[in-house]
Structure 1
Amino acid sequence: MIFLKTPLSSILGIGPKFVSKLKKLGVETVKDLLWHFPTRYEDFSQIYKIADLIPKQQATVQGIIKKISGRRAWHRRLYIVEAFIKDSSGSIKAVWFNQPYIKNILQVGRLANFSGKVVDSDEPYLSNPIYELVNKYENWETKHTARIVPIYSETKGLTSKGLRYLIKPLLEETQKIPEVLPLEILKKQCLPEINKALKNIHFPHNLSEALLAKKRFAFEDLFLLQLSNLKQRLKLAREKAPAIDINLPELKKLIGQLPFELTPSQKKSLWEIIQDLNKPRPMNRLLQGDVGSGKTIIAAIAALRTAEAGCQTAFMAPTEILASQHYQTLIKFFPKFEKGLALLTGSEAKVYYGKGLETEMKKSELYKKISVQKIAIIIGTHALIQKTVRFPKLALVIVDEQHRFGVSQRASLIRRSTQTNTQINADYTKTQTTTENFLFKDLTYKIRGAIFEVSNKIGLGLKENIYSKALIIEFKKRNINFTTEKSISINYNNENIGTYRPDFIIDNKVILEIKALPFIGKIEEKQIWSYLKGSDYKLALLVNFGSKELNIKRIIHDKSYVNLRESGSSLRESALILPHFLSMSATPIPRTLNLTIFGDLDLSLITELPKNRKPIITKIVAPENREKAYQFIRDQIKKGRQAFVICPRIEPTQTKTDYTQTKTEIPYESVLSPRKSMLLWETKAVKTEYEKLSKKIFPDLKVAMLHGKMKPKEKEKTMSAFAKTAKEKDKNKRIDILVSTSVVEVGVDVSNATIMMIEGTERFGLAQLYQFRGRVGRGEHQSYCLLFTDSAAKTTQQRLKSIVEAKNGFELAEKDLKIRGPGEFFGEAQTGLPDLAMKALQNPELVKAAREAAREMLRSDPALEKHPLLSEQLIRFQTQIHFE
């Protein structure tokens, strides 16, 4: 019997070459392969007579092979195989490129099916058809032709046909898979159970079966995602946070210092945030607003109110340029703030004390000032999450563009306040808090993730020492601290009565025992519980790699934890004091994705721009009008304005299509004589554009370059000079045009810049293009965005037209979701969310159904104790997803 966790390398018939090719697709176990779902289907279910074929049609024909031959074309590396197929109505030629082995497989006189595209030519032919020999005398089902045929994501040397050969027998021989979704949910949603769905997603009898199977797997992932979000909300509702006094007179005083009036949605968002800060449980809110809508000011006011309450704020930005800009914004609008405003990045550390007093200092000095609460607001980059940075009274964490930070980075910043024994809320009674609360839940998730990975890769039924060695490798890979050498003292009445040496001690907090028994019972659990009782350790994980299933038992000996579970009030009293969390984002995200991806966050929207802001005029510029665009830029600079030029790459690169290496469809006639040229194009690059613009197009203007490979101080100097150009009297220090990569995508504010010229727009996501456009239009002058593309593709033109017509980022996001799908915002590689679920995010009804099912489940079974398989699947899912 074959199991899901069985490595493909141990299955008869799957050789080392196949295994190495499958690894390139991320496929190593039976489960990986069965969950390698088709990306699309070809409908070859109807067999046509050759005489009835229509050009450009995808069709299947069945006929006798009358002739087959192979030859080299004009290019000696291009090999063509041609076969002539005949049925009762006529004959047709089939053509394959660079597949010489076909000549040895298809034999003259054999009956076979051929499925492919009919190419319109003087003499129509089948281009690169799938073929399958037919045996009419057996009860035989086709895999590749005369049916709905699955097409998969492929890799070099491994085609969809090869994958079908592997998957078909595995579906029949693999042990029946237990269903994780409750039966009542499947019934209510009219979805097939998992084994039927697996068969139908790979080899459906019709397209309806395939679509329903896809829906079932998409629903499962959406359901797990919603369960995860809702459980996080429930957990936060039980946590404690410092309650920041609203103090309306002080709040109005702060707002009154601004030289402009807040927009209605700014006021609404600010009030939502202030109300959340006033509650004794952690705020978990996303502040979303259009580019230039004034999110930073709202976050700044929240930070200032937190400071007035005697607490600290950590404000993290994704780049040094943006962190510095936020720092300058707070100084500009609140120059009288005297409680300490610091900037901490990889390259600098400085503090503003109010009334124009600012000083640079060593980082070690700044760390000390933060640790003794001399600094109320700390703005920085990843530098804020160093272990040397300690916040004794961290009450608010603000993260700008949260999806640009890893989950571990955000969590690390939030935990900075929970790693001390100081109570951060001055209004609370002083009680000692430690990171051991909730018994290392984050750590156990990491451990479980490593255990599941080992189980998936090497399967079950091996010896204990094999699993121990594999876990050592996996722990090292995941940076999980462990030891296998430590013995624990067992005490009785404060006297040592012996020692106990577990298989692993993780992070000096969790004991891990490994077994490989047919099953584990109460004896093994009691033994470990007794060891815990006589030691200073509180938690152990007992893991059994059984012959049939993996089992993980959580064993606890901690009176305070037992009391916490028995009393909700005790839980609230003993829980960690966590800071409030505010995420800011200008990335336009459709409502459906917001509710799903950020379902654990409350949402505040800033929906309008400040008054007197002129709309940006956006134009798609045809290649023949490039010189006119350059002249327009020159005219604007003569008026004292500045321009951005954005390129997709730093270094130039060349990409060419070499037809001699392809097996895909190419024009048959084109291989009969040499092509005049191969396709060759160059991606626009910062360095080459900088050379061209500075020396050939604008030799009389000051052109500068900015990209990610420059040193932080170089970038800072360039960006600072560009931002100060409007006030700079020395012409040598001015920058008229800045040629840059996407490093300027987020947050950079230069009010005098009025032109955004974007090269290679087809290589950027629509959300990115919108962010670029938002770098201009921040001053009093009319601004322009010029879009250049070498692509004539319909989708590209449609996307660019959307950005020209869109009134705001949210409208644009909805259009982009329809055009390109959710991957534009959060791709599978970025989130860990499977592809089917990503596509399902476009279906509001399915998202809503998954959310309702998750709510219903948690109402009836909050801890999922009645659904152990679902609980285990949720843990696996949570180790997989990461919205970064």
Structure 2
Amino acid sequence: MTLADFPVGSIKGVGHAFADQLQKLEIATAADLINYFPYRYENYAVRDLSTIADGEHATIVGKIQSEPLFSYYAKKRSRISVRVLSGRYLITAVLFNRPYLKRTLKLGDTVTLTGKWEQGRAVLTVTEFHNGLPTDKGEWLPVYPVKEGISVKKLRTIVRQALTQFAGQLAENLPDSLRERYRLLGREEAVREIHFPSSTQRLKQARRRLVYEEFLIYELKMQAHRLKRQKAKNGVAFAVDNVRLQAFIEALPFHLTDAQQTVLHEILEDMKQPSAMNRLLQGDVGSGKTIVAAIALFAAVTAGYQGALMAPTEILAEQHADSLEQLFSAFSIRTALLTGNVRGKKRKLLLEQLKEGAIDILIGTHALIQDEVHYRRLGLVVTDEQHRFGVVQRRLLREKGQEPDVLYMTATPIPRTLALTVFGDMDVSTISELPGGRKPIKTYWVRHDLMDRVITFIRRAVAAGRQAYVVCPLIEESEQLDVQNALDMHSQLTQALTGIQVGLMHGRLNPEEKADVMNRFKMNQVQVLVATTVVEVGVNVPNATLMIVNDADRFGLSQLHQLRGRVGRGSNQSYCVLVAEAKSETSKEKMKWMTETTDGFKLSELDLKLRGPGDFFGSKQSGLPDFKLADLVHDFQTLAAARQDAAKMVRSQSFWQEDAYHLLRAPLRAAGILDKKRLD
């Protein structure tokens, strides 16, 4: 039996009621409890106030110097404050929601207090209180994330009991060779130390061991799935008509860059193999990913298959449909657009033609994955801005064919850290250069009091025959947020820019209204387009040379870079103006980085450090793993080592056959990788 076979109620001190409460924390077994790790620690070593940093949790000893002041606030919540002399420092100790202590705190008593120190106000917000000198608690105690009805103190007690009760039963899942190579603690020792550290050094060693283990198990799943896919040989082996393909490439009105040719070769080689392609195509804004995808779709059609291109918005889908129709019209390739806006008889006819094979390439939004959509012979699926779709949506499109090749595209440069995790089972192609003739976009940061000069800048750009975007974070005014909104900005610019057509685009417009304003902007009937971030991805108007972003400090670096990428798409000099007060140091850093570099990959790494992986894509449906201890930013070197080790393991017979690895094979079996299930 393993610890997963013991219900949490089998631990001494855990009754039925408490076992039910632990379900709130998703703790059902002894294994769940022991693997429920602390997120920080209380240090109970008594400190002198002069050694405690602002914001640090620490323990002090002092004498009470005043009668406690008691008060209620916010629906019977209570607050006690009392003056305490600790060494030569007179401070205020504050205790929340412990009204019973007002009778315990007496003038002249010695107390031991643990809490968060605010240096500027000389206030200690107390989390733990003890009357008298400190008891022998040890230096460190864990603090766990808890929910109502479960105290940290009670959780500590049962974790300690579980570690005692199941001593010797925490099976080692790493082979000796790996532990010796990296000098890792044994699993049982690491788990004990992560809960109840004996020293700072031992805590670091325990975390290092468990982070490596967490990354290794994840990467084993990724690498095993990748190997399984490569060995399956049940995909489409495209017999591409190279003569037609070469004629198409030579007919393009421009030459492919070296980087485009490199990634195109990688994609076409994948398409010729019998194993299904699973490739991510990434490149900075304006690097020419779409034309590479178009060539791949053309190649699929020459081999007798259909292609599908799914985009996250109707605007982007329509734009792709227009550009592909222009590219393919001279080569007798039939394209069609399917969005929620295609209805009635037109929709019915389109679906019939698709099923019969009269449509070669279907472009659309998530409408492409609806039950009624059937392809005759789907061979290649292209998903644009793939992180905007959920895992289920991507899978449903892939399942419209018999193991079709899949090409994911993204203009959000993915930091290498995330590429190793979210896309760990994919091959990655990167377009690392921009087409020739493009001038770097000049970026400036101004504060709101210079808005009149920004409006003058817009007027000059329009007078020169150019166009401008003005982006706002909100559609309309908000009571909660003091930021510029699109409706007010549209009204302001309409009055300020007399004789200039100012359009408005936001997410609440219906598809016809969006298409109308976008078409008028493309035709320069609208010179200034006020919009929300609905224009962030894919909108291509080469004549637009000015991007104004209001309250730019409200956006992430990668999003700002995406917005900036809407200009600079022609041969004329383009500009990006970031309007922001940027009061915090982080906001100032963001503005500084945006004005100093146009390298999307560098900005994506900085953005990841600022916002963390969970918010990087702005979407929780991107497939990010939920690690218990590991940090994708700070533990990157450990992740890289684990990935390398996992790749070697899954390709060795010893991993699949020897007992030393059987506990590492178990998570793969549980994930369905060793049977016919798909890993998404």
> If the TM-score is normalised by the length of the shorter chain, which range does it land in?
0.7 to 0.9
Alignment check: 8 A CA contact 1:840 1:846 kept: no
Q: Which residue of 2 aligns with 1:612?
A: 437
Matching residue of 1:682: 482
> 2 CA distance for matches of 1:95 and 1:72?
14
Larger Rg: 1
The secondary structure found in structure 2 opposite 1:810 is helix
Choose which of 493, 507, 513 in structure 2 pairs with 1:714: 513
Q: Distance in 2 between matches of 1:179 and 1:653?
A: 55
CA contact (8 A) 1:9 1:16 kept: no
- Rounded Cα–Cα distance in structure 2 between residues aligned with 1:857 and 1:786: 50
Residue 141 (str. 1) matches residue 137 (str. 2): yes
**Is the contact made by 2:501 and 2:527 (CA closer than 8 Å) also made in structure 1?**
yes
1:844: Cα distance to partner? 3.9
CA distance in 2, matches of 1:267, 1:689: 43
Of 205-214 and 32-41, the range deviating more from structure 2: 32-41
> What SS is found at the alignment partner of 1:775?
coil
Which consecutive residues of structure 2, in runs of 5 or more, have no partner in the other structure?
A: none
SS of residue paired to 1:597: coil
Q: Helix, strand or coil: the match of 2:331?
A: coil
Structure 2 CA distance for partners of 1:36 and 1:703, relative to 1, 3 Å: farther
What CA deviation, in whole Å up to 9, does each residue of 1:373-400 have, x standing for no partner? 1111111111111222222221111111
Report how far residue 281 of structure 1 moved.
Answer: 2.1
Tell me whether 1:795 sits opposite 2:608 in the alignment. Answer: no
**Partner AA of 1:306 in structure 2:** A
CA distance in 2, matches of 1:14, 1:703: 68
The verdict on how the C-alpha distance between 1:369 and 1:163 changes in structure 2, with shifts beyond 3 A counting, is same
Residue in structure 1 matched with residue 607 of structure 2 by the alignment: 816
2:222 aligned to 219, 229, 237, which one? 229
Return closer, same or farther for 1:308/1:3 CA change in 2, 3 Å cut-off: closer
User: Bigger shift: 255-264 or 125-134?
Assistant: 125-134
Distance in structure 2 (CA, Å) of the matches to 1:137 and 1:343: 73
Are 2:470 and 1:645 equivalent residues in the alignment?
yes
Matches of 1:81 and 1:592, distance apart in 2? 47
Alpha-carbon shift at residue 765 of structure 1 (Å): 2.0
* Residues 1:172 and 2:172 aligned together: no
Q: 2-side partners of 1:686 and 1:15: how far apart?
A: 55
Quote the Cα distance in structure 2 between the aligned partners of 1:377 and 1:329: 13
Distance 1:258 1:849, change over 3 A: same
- SS of 1:334 mapped into structure 2: helix
Whether the 8 Å CA contact 1:654–1:683 is kept in 2: the answer is no
Q: Secondary structure at the match of 1:335?
A: helix
1:75 is displaced (CA, Å) by: 11
Partner AA of 1:795 in structure 2: T
Deviation, structure 1 residue 840: 3.5
Task: Give the drift of 1:600.
Answer: 1.6
Match in the other structure for 1:388: 372
Superposition deviation, residue 819 in structure 1: 4.2
* In structure 1, distance between residues paired with 2:530 and 2:360: 37
SS at match of 1:362: helix
Q: Report sequence identity in percent.
A: 34
What amino acid does structure 1 have at the position aligned with 2:259? S
Cα gap change, 1:706 to 1:871, in 2 (>3 Å): farther
The code of the aligned residue for 2:275 comes to R
Mapped to 1, the partners of 2:55 and 2:390 lie a distance apart of: 47
Contact 2:4 2:32 in 1 (8 A): no
- Report the equivalent of 2:631: 839
For the residues of structure 1 that align with 2:290 and 2:606, how far apart are their CA atoms?
A: 27
Instruction: Select which of 129, 133, 142 maps to 1:132.
Output: 129
Cα separation, 1, equivalents of 2:452 and 2:100: 53
Secondary structure of 1:834 counterpart: coil
In 2, the alpha carbon distance for the partners of 1:228 and 1:253 equals 42
Aligned length: 665
Do the aligned partners of 1:312 and 1:395 also contact (CA within 8 Å) in 2?
yes
Q: Point out the more displaced range, 844-853 or 746-755.
A: 844-853
How far off its partner does 1:114 sit? 1.9
Contact 1:70–1:79, Cα closer than 8 Å, also in 2: no
Aligned residue number for residue 94 of structure 1: 92
- Contact 1:232–1:600 (Cα < 8 Å) also in 2: yes
Q: Is the 8 A contact 2:117 2:125 kept in 1?
A: no
Q: CA deviation at 1:56?
A: 4.0
Secondary structure (helix, strand or coil) at the match of 2:236 reads: coil
* 1:191/1:212 contact within 8 Å kept: yes
The one of 251, 260, 267 equivalent to 1:257 is 251
Q: Does 1:398 align with 2:382?
A: yes
Cα distance, 1:104–1:158 mapped onto 2, change above 3 Å: farther
Does the 8 Å CA contact 2:542/2:568 hold for their aligned counterparts?
yes
Return closer, same or farther for 1:95/1:289 CA change in 2, 3 Å cut-off: same
The residue correspondences of 1:376-525 to structure 2 (distance < 5 A) are 376-418=360-402
Q: Is the alpha carbon distance of 1:700 and 1:838 closer, same or farther for their aligned partners in structure 2, counting shifts above 3 Å?
A: farther
CA distance in 2, matches of 1:868, 1:721: 63
Distance in 2 separating the partners of 1:408 and 1:69: 58
**What is the aligned partner in structure 1 of residue 522 from structure 2?**
723
Q: Per-residue displacement from partner, 1:780-818 (whole Å, max 9, x unpaired)?
A: 222111112343211222122222222421222233344
Q: Confirm whether residue 315 of structure 1 aligns to residue 309 of structure 2.
A: yes
Task: Determine whether 1:277 maps to 2:271.
Answer: yes
Say whether the 8 Å CA contact 1:399–1:584 is kept in structure 2: yes
Q: Secondary structure at the match of 1:242?
A: coil
Q: Which runs of 5+ in 1 are unaligned?
A: 350-359, 419-577, 656-680, 727-733
Structure 1 residue 857: deviation in Å?
Answer: 3.0
Q: Could you tell me how far apart the structure 2 residues matched to 1:91 and 1:592 are?
A: 46
Indicate conservation of the 8 Å contact 1:285/1:583, yes or no: yes
Return the alpha-carbon distance in structure 2 between the equivalents of residues 195 and 761 of structure 1: 49
Secondary structure of 1:167 counterpart: helix
- Distance in 2 (CA, whole Å) between partners of 1:132 and 1:10 is 28
Q: Which moved more, 1:25-34 or 1:591-600?
A: 25-34
Q: 2:416 matched to which residue of 1?
A: 591
Q: Out of 852, 856, 861, which is 2:644 matched to?
A: 852
Alignment of 1:190-339 (within 5 A): 190-237=183-230, 238-339=232-333
In structure 1, C-alpha distance between the alignment counterparts of 2:561 and 2:252, rounded to whole Å = 28
Give, in angstroms, the shift of residue 650 of structure 1: 3.1
Residue in structure 2 matched with residue 496 of structure 1 by the alignment: none
Partner of 1:70: 69
Assess if the C-alpha contact under 8 Å between 1:690 and 1:705 holds in 2: yes
8 Å contact 2:300–2:379 — kept in the other structure? yes
- Going from structure 1 to structure 2, the CA distance change for 1:54 and 1:740 (only over 3 Å counts) comes to same
RMSD: 3.7
Question: CA contact under 8 A between 1:78 and 1:97: conserved in structure 2?
Answer: no
**8 A contact 1:322–1:746 mirrored in 2:** yes
Q: State how far apart, in whole Å, the 1-side matches of 2:617 and 2:143 are.
A: 24
Counterparts in 2 of 1:16 and 1:268: CA distance versus 1, 3 Å: same
1:313 positional shift: 0.8
> In the alignment, does 2:664 pair up with 1:870?
yes
Instruction: Write the letter of the residue equivalent to 1:363.
Output: R
Amino acid at match of 2:400: R
